[in-house]
Structure formats: C-alpha cells, structure tokens
Amino acid sequence: MPEYRLGDVIDDFCVRCKRVMNHNVVSVMNSEPAKVRCRTCHSDHDYRHEQPPPPKIDPRKQALFDEVLKKVDPDGAGPVVEAAEPVAEAAEPLTEAADPPAVESPPKAKAKSKGKK
C-alpha cells in the first residue's frame, strides 16, 4: 500500500460531481487519506475509497409498490396485448405536392420625412 502525503493526487468519488474524479489529499490519518478535495469542483469530503454511496431506497415505498403489483396481477404473468393494426381505408392519403399555406408578410413601415407637408 502506498504512503499517502498531503497534496497527493488520487481518484475518489466526489459527492458534488457524482463521479469518480481526481482529488488532492487534504488530511492523513494512520497513513490513509482522511479528507480529500475535488480538483474539479473544489469541495472537501471524506475519502470514500472510490465507492459511490449506496442508492437511497425507501423500504416502505418498495413494500407498498410490491403490494399494489400483487393486487393488479397476482400471477405475475399478465396477458400479452398485441398492437392493433391501423386501418388503411380510414386514413386520408397524403399528397406529396401539397404546398404549405401562404403567410402574408407584415406591411413595411413608412419612412419619416423631415419636411412639412
């Protein structure tokens, strides 16, 4: 294991950038980096050993979601619904030479005259 010193550049997960980025070692305890500073956003945080934090999953929400799914489809294998084919007779044929509607140009402003009329 390498000996870390203050100012060394190491990779770590940045909590602000949400990515593994280059960091400077800010403090060392027992020859392990304790705090690091991101070289991109300059935020200080504890050294995380390049591991992102675990995802935040609310067990109550997941239990309620699973309960609703069981009520909707208790077998877990619902019927397969096939897409209906479009009816060709009902649709209007599109003409390729159709011109877009003409748009009138706004009237031009009159030039101001300096003399009296």
pTM: 0.48
Give tens-digit pLDDT for 18-49. 999 999 999 999 989 999 999 999 999 999 98
pLDDT at position 62, please? 86
Parent domain of 38: 9-46
Instruction: With respect to residue 73, please indicate whether it lies within any of the assigned structural domains.
Output: no
Instruction: With respect to residue 2, please indicate whether it lies within any of the assigned structural domains.
Output: no
DSSP state of 101: P
∠ CA 101-106-107, rounded to 5°: 135
Instruction: With respect to residue 64, please indicate whether it lies within any of the assigned structural domains.
Output: no
Rounded CA-CA distance 26/41 in Å is: 15
Give the percent of the chain with pLDDT over 70.
64
115 pLDDT band (50/70/90 cuts)?
A: low
Residues 6+ apart with CB under 8 A from 21: 11, 12, 13, 14, 38, 39, 40
Task: State how many domains the chain has.
Answer: 1
Tokens 């159709």 belong to 98
Give tens-digit pLDDT for 48-60. 988 888 877 788 8
Instruction: With respect to residue 87, please indicate whether it lies within any of the assigned structural domains.
Output: no
Instruction: With respect to residue 90, please indicate whether it lies within any of the assigned structural domains.
Output: no
* Contact (CB, 8 A) for 11 and 50: yes
pLDDT at position 76, please? 62
* Contact (CB, 8 A) for 63 and 25: no
Instruction: With respect to residue 23, please indicate whether it lies within any of the assigned structural domains.
Output: yes
